[in-house]
Amino acid sequence: MKVILKCTRNSKQILKRFHSKDAKNLIKQHTEISRDHLTPEIALHLITQNCQLWHSHPDTCPFIDPFWAFYWPGGQVLSRYILDNKELFEGKTVIDIGAGCGATSIACSLVDAHHIIANDIDNVACECIELNSELNKTSVTTSAVNLLGGNDLECDILLLGDMFYDEITTNTISDWLDHIGSCPTNILIGDPGRHSFKNHPMKNKLEKVGTYDLPASCVSENNGFTYASVWQYRPS
């Protein structure tokens, strides 16, 4: 399988093709394995302050928008909730939309979910998820298909970790959830109170099921968010 990584050098965009193995090596080269987050049970390849890329000019980054290299506050609390509520996930089929580094999917595998699809439209994220899943000896299937807007999701549980990061995406997901039908039966969202989420009309259809303080590393990376919550979608 080939993945495409966009490489920016001297502000000029060059398209580079890497084999999956090369992408994984590049991820390993530019990240460190970290457990400094809310779910230390899970080891993750992340770009941290100890990595050269953290301190480098964006033009030298071999990846375009490597969201997968960070473990976002919404994902951290969602994964914590999963690890703390094993019985809700055991034996279930789960789709994790915008899986990023894959931690939330990995949490599902650790609590014995039956089948987990880690979905992210960024092919490099899927490579990173495979690396992280292997690192934690878990079983996760990756998919880079854009599922947003589609119907008939064959799963029991849909997970959305920190997916309400801008207004357009928030509206797109909100409209989608309104038309998604009765399957999946359980939709869970992790969010630290992002602007486009906290004032959205969709909030009337959500019930808060958990709130967690964020660890210092996450607070310093995320503009002062100090806690984040898990919400369950409950349309009337």
Ligand X SMILES: C[S@@+](CC[C@H](N)C(=O)[O-])C[C@H]1O[C@@H](n2cnc3c(N)ncnc32)[C@H](O)[C@@H]1O
Cα–Cα nearest to 4, from 111, 121, 91: 121
Least distance from C-beta 96 to ligand X, angstroms?
Answer: 7
Q: Which of 127, 156, 162, 221 binds ligand X (CB under 6 A)?
A: 162
Q: Under the criterion CB under 6 A, does residue 119 sit at the interface with ligand X? A: yes
Q: Under the criterion CB under 6 A, does residue 146 sit at the interface with ligand X? A: yes
Please tell me the distance from the alpha carbon of residue 98 to that of residue 7, in angstroms, as a whole number.
22
> Considering only 150-158, 161-169, 210-218, 224-232, which stretch makes contact with ligand X by CB under 6 A?
161-169
Q: Under the criterion CB under 6 A, does residue 72 sit at the interface with ligand X? A: yes
Q: Which of 161, 192, 214, 231 binds ligand X (CB under 6 A)?
A: 161
Tell the residue number behind the tokens 């650790």, with chain if given: 110
Q: Which of 42, 125, 187, 214 binds ligand X (CB under 6 A)?
A: 125
Least distance from C-beta 230 to ligand X, angstroms?
Answer: 12
Phi, psi of 36 (to 5 degrees): -85, 70
Q: Under the criterion CB under 6 A, does residue 98 sit at the interface with ligand X? A: yes
Q: Which long-range contacts (CB under 8 A, 24 or more apart) does 140-146 make?
A: 140/102, 140/105, 140/106, 140/108, 140/109, 140/116, 141/115, 141/116, 141/117, 142/99, 142/102, 142/117, 142/118, 143/117, 143/118, 143/119, 144/119, 144/120, 145/119, 145/121, 146/121
Least distance from C-beta 99 to ligand X, angstroms?
Answer: 6
Q: Which residues pair with 9 in a beta bridge?
A: 12
Least distance from C-beta 100 to ligand X, angstroms?
Answer: 3
Q: Which of 67, 89, 212, 233 binds ligand X (CB under 6 A)?
A: 67
Least distance from C-beta 68 to ligand X, angstroms?
Answer: 5
Least distance from C-beta 199 to ligand X, angstroms?
Answer: 19
Q: Under the criterion CB under 6 A, does residue 122 sit at the interface with ligand X? A: yes
Q: Under the criterion CB under 6 A, does residue 212 sit at the interface with ligand X? A: no
Is 15 within 8 Å of 6 (Cβ atoms)? yes
Q: Which of 74, 95, 123, 138 binds ligand X (CB under 6 A)?
A: 74
Tell the residue number behind the tokens 């997916």, with chain if given: 163
For 58, which DSSP code?
A: G
Is 31 within 8 Å of 69 (Cβ atoms)? yes
Cβ proximity to ligand X, 12 vs 174, nearer residue: 174
Q: Under the criterion CB under 6 A, does residue 66 sit at the interface with ligand X? A: no
Q: Using only C-alpha atoms, what is the Rg of the chain? A: 17
Residues that bind ligand X in the complex, under the rule CB under 6 A: 67-68, 71-72, 74-75, 97-101, 104, 119-122, 125, 146, 148, 161-163, 165
